[in-house]
Amino acid sequence: MGTSATYITSGDVTNVHFNQFPTTTKDAYIQEANDYCEDFAMTLGLDPSDIVSPVQIMVKRMLSCYCVMRIAEDSIGTNSATLAEGEDMYVEMRKEYRELLKEYQSKVTPEVMTGVNYDRSQRSISTGRYFRG
């Protein structure tokens, strides 16, 4: 287990299948997601200390998807319930949450991670001609 800060808790993950696992199992995936948050921040060029706490809802959603995707990955082949013709429900869950994770990753920007909203309306562009005389 890592030593990252706490950005989400098991209460933030609302997936029914995730919540059926024992608390100790869920806690391990929550910790992994918290570590992932810091790794993701670094891919955006941020230091983990730049991450605002509490994190914005978009970050919580991204980390929640990460938790469910990871627990689904590790659970493939452990459930006898199938969806259709041998499809493992965890394979389908992993696919679904991997796509959701990608969607949220594209929306989580450095501004979202740091809580800094740059007011772009204050910028101006000058396109006038300059004459030297």
Residue 115 tokens read as 């809580």
- Apex CA 12: angle with CA 6 and CA 14, to 5°? 150
Give the ranges where 55-114 is alpha helix by DSSP (H).
57-75, 89-107, 110-114
| Best CA proximity match to 96, nearest among 79, 83, 78 | 83
Rounded to whole angstroms, the Cα distance separating 10 from 28 reads 10
pTM of the model: 0.81
Residue 88, phi then psi, degrees to nearest 5? -75, 135
| Best CA proximity match to 104, nearest among 45, 31, 55 | 55
In one-letter notation, the amino acid at residue 121 is S
Is the separation of the CB atoms in 90 and 78 below 8 Å?
A: yes
Burial of 31 (0-12, 13-18, 19+ CB in 10 A): middle
How confident is the prediction along the chain (133 residues), in pLDDT tens digits per residue? 456 799 999 999 999 989 899 999 999 999 999 999 999 999 999 999 999 999 999 999 999 999 999 999 999 888 766 556 667 888 999 999 999 999 999 999 999 999 887 555 554 455 555 555 5
